[in-house]
Amino acid sequence: MSFSGPKHYRAESAKALKDRPSVRASVTSATDTFNANRSEAYSQIDSDLWRDWARDVKSHALTNLDQYLEQAETQLLANGAKVHWAETAHDALGLLEEIVRDHGIGTAVKAKSMLSEELGINEHLEHLGVHVRETDLGEYIIQLIGEPPSHIVGPAIHRSLEDCQRLFHETFGTPLDDGPDALAAAAREALREEFLAADLGISGGNFLVAETGTVALIENEGNIRLSTSLPRVHIALVGIEKIVPRLEDVSGLVQLTSRAATGQPIGNFFSLIQGPKRDGDIDGPEEVHVILVDNGRTRLLADDKAWEALRCVRCGACLNICPVYRQTGGHPYGWTYSGPIGAIIAPGMLGLEEAMPLPYASSLCGACVDECPVRIPIPELLLHWREKAVEEGLTPSIESAGLKAYTKAAERPGIFRAAGAMLRHIPLDAGGRALPILSGWVKERSAPESSAKSFMQQWKEGIE
Amino acid sequence: MTARSSILDRVRIALANREVVAHPGSFEGWRPFIHSGNPTEQFTEMFEAAGGEVVSFKTQVEASLWVRGFLADFNSLSVGELARGRLNEDAEPDEWIEEMDPSVVEAGVSLAFGAVAETGSLIMTPQDGRRAQLLPPVHVVFVDQAKIYETLSEGLVALKNEVLPGDNESGRLPSAVGLHSGPSKSADIGQVLVKGVHGPGRVVAVIVESAEPRTSKP
Ligand code: SF4
């Protein structure tokens, strides 16, 4: 099942809060765990140093993107992989279709890929008559239920153990009180058959190394390694912003991304894929296709401020810490990428009008910017899009007044906190214009601690 | 115009007035946090923290003996191409272990190219067979202590520069490399940690300390 677009955000988030209280409970508990693990993992390293480094590697890659894309292509071709370019989702689906036809593909196993969600790969494969199976356990659960992922790292975190017990009972006939181990064993058995039989494996790519032509993939279950090792054809869908220059860069980025995402020093499986099986190899795919996808990324790159959002490594930290996301989970955002990162890339990738009101789906508390491993200035970019929305007449004028006061106050640390609070409350007091999601939770509970102090902390760091 | 040229054109237009950010250089962030200087200890600590098991032996003969004993508890086995010589080190042919297809066995044995201390990772190459590394529920991996690298970067560069069996070129990575840093795990069901989803739920690193020449049989 796919998304219906961000425009229903208000209604959908209100509905989620009212009708499905279990979502809030599950998301809160999952994000609390993510947050605790990330804090611990950051505390073990000099996280400021690491994040400055990562920010610069990604910015360097993005500001030289054309050269590195060409280099990656040359290397991949030398490795024996096939390289395709897709400007739009439509183009990517067309390329997929060609490969499916050329190879007589009947079944596909998929490793978790947000890009494949963005492109609508599953629907298209089914339309082509290909049986497609998600193999990440979380993705598998939501595929069985028929809903899209609600979080970029944990796609099914909005689902409780009871939900899974019911689902597996209906699907496999497992007893309703089976624990997670038994349920996972049932899934493993069912999916193992599909792995062994599949003609095609589809993955995304966390990084694409220009120097070596390497598609790098982080995971914990082993399903990505299986999806990219067993079927005779492997297709990797890679956003053009995933480029990093050198093998050495990926060594640092995989560690920082893993720490930011799940608090691990590294995901338990890390794949570095250069191309198809070679003569001395025992097994592996006969063909590896890398599809380089634009689909709105060059449009975002062209924005003088928001291009920095392309540094994102999709760790989910900004979702986990976001007091707004934590209330509803990802579905109300109405497209593939939810939470703070979703709100700042949507206007660039989809167009501002299409992305409304996502730049407003935030209390501007600034908690996210403290956590982001590549230091994307998320609150600044939210404000950037809000300014643009005002310019383009897409928003009520009361918001515009608040925005000006906020920007002005931002130049003077003393009243900054007050201004932040003011802007936070303007939407609440603006009657019908308010985002119900914000008023709903701000009134009844306070934001997580780190969010309350983050802007002030930043200011202190800046002036001391 | 092809998709390729129009994407590259759009990238160039977007970047036309953008200030180029310099590359920050090598990733040195780990250095203050590295273990007391003993890569084997750090590897062991990290690998165990991620749920893996580590055993260590002075020589390949001792290691092989232990692994053959360990495997006696399992009914069916598969052995990677590179691991076969190691496993049968010093064994008479009639003691050799009967091998089966990795998709049906209870345990698999592989030889790692090396390991990484800072992340607690085994570096697996396709020359050994990927199926043997991934399909059995239990995975036993030989690794030479001399090839436990301090950092991930050093490990990958060493792999890149090595001429691997069946691959006649150095200076390039194998077709696919897998870093295994612990058992397969997931918390996707009700946020409870489960081991052995898809990949091996149990992984044992067998460190061989001695670098002395092996007396291996073919
Ligand atoms: S914006 Fe930063 S924190 Fe959010 S998902 Fe991307 S990298 Fe992670």
Residue B121 included in any domain: yes
Q: Which two tokens stand for residue B187?
A: 């918390």
Residue B11 included in any domain: no
Smallest Cβ distance to B190: which of A46, A164, A269? A164
pLDDT band at A71 (very low <50, low <70, confident <90, very high): very high
Residue B29 included in any domain: no
| Cα of A115 vs its chain's centroid, Å | 9
Range of the domain at B99: 36-210
Mutate to test the interface with B, among A266, A273, A304 (most CBs of B within 10 A): A266
How near does any CA of chain A get to the CA of B100, in Å?
15
B199–A222: do the CB atoms touch at under 8 Å?
A: yes
B186–A79: do the CB atoms touch at under 8 Å?
A: no
* CATH value at residue B93: 3.40.50.10420
For this complex, say whether ipTM is above 0.85.
yes
Mutate to test the interface with B, among A79, A139, A225 (most CBs of B within 10 A): A225
Question: Is pLDDT above 80 for B68?
Answer: yes
pLDDT at position B140: 97
Least confident span in A81-90, A221-230, A455-464, B110-119: A455-464
CA B124 – CA B215 distance, rounded (Å): 24
Residues of A in contact with B19 (CB under 8 A): 63
Residue B4 included in any domain: no
pLDDT at position A353: 93
Q: Which two tokens stand for residue A169?
A: 């009972």
B10–A181: do the CB atoms touch at under 8 Å?
A: no
Question: Which ligand 1 atom is at minimum distance from the Cα of A378?
Answer: 1
pLDDT at position A294: 98
For A27, which residue in chain B has the nearest alpha carbon? B191
pLDDT at position A436: 42
B75-128 pLDDT, tens digit per residue, is 999 999 889 989 888 777 777 778 899 999 999 999 999 999 999 999 999 988
Residue B23 included in any domain: no
Residue B180 included in any domain: yes
For B190, which residue in chain A has the nearest alpha carbon? A161
Q: Give chain A's length.
A: 464
Question: In terms of C-beta distances under 8 Å and separation of at least 24 residues, what long-range contacts does A90-93 make, across chains too?
Answer: A91/B3, A92/A119, A92/A121, A92/A237, A92/A291, A92/A293, A92/A295, A93/A119, A93/A120, A93/A121, A93/A124
A283–B182: do the CB atoms touch at under 8 Å?
A: no
CA A79 – CA B173 distance, rounded (Å): 9
Ligand 1: lining residues by beta carbon, under 6 Å: A 260, 312-318, 341, 371-374, 376
A277–B131: do the CB atoms touch at under 8 Å?
A: no
B50–A268: do the CB atoms touch at under 8 Å?
A: yes
Average pLDDT of the segment spanning B208-214:
71
pLDDT at position A422: 46
| B 74-103: CB under 8 A from A | 80-81, 103
Q: CA B217 → CA A20, A81, A107, B90, distances in Å? A: 65, 37, 42, 7
Q: Domain coordinates of chain A in residue numbers? A: 37-297, 398-461
Which residue intervals of A103-246 are DSSP H helices?
114-119, 121-127, 137-145, 161-172, 180-197, 223-229
Residue B56 included in any domain: yes
Average pLDDT of the segment spanning A403-422:
46
CA B15 – CA B13 distance, rounded (Å): 5
For A267, which residue in chain B has the nearest alpha carbon? B181
Question: Is pLDDT above 70 for A441?
Answer: no
Question: Is pLDDT above 80 for A58?
Answer: yes
pLDDT at position A104: 97
Looking at the structure of chain B, the number of domains it has is: 1
Average pLDDT of the segment spanning A318-337:
94
CA angle B161, A50, A45 (to 5 degrees): 100
pLDDT at position B151: 92
pTM (2 d.p.) = 0.90
What separation in Å is there between the alpha carbon of A453 and the centre of ligand 1? 19
Quick one: DSSP state of residue A420? H
The residue whose CA is least distant from atom 4 of ligand 1 is: A318
Average pLDDT of the segment spanning B159-170:
82
Domain A37-297 sits in CATH 3.10.180.10? no
CA A97 – CA A124 distance, rounded (Å): 8
How near does any CA of chain B get to the CA of A419, in Å?
32
Least confident span in A167-181, B18-32, B59-73: B18-32
pLDDT band at A442 (very low <50, low <70, confident <90, very high): very low
pLDDT at position B1: 74
A217-275 pLDDT, tens digit per residue, is 999 999 999 999 999 999 999 999 999 999 999 999 999 999 999 999 999 999 999 99
Residue B217 included in any domain: no
- Beta-carbon contacts of B107 under 8 Å, excluding residues fewer than 6 positions away, are B71, B74, B76, B77, B78, B136, B137, B138, B139, B140
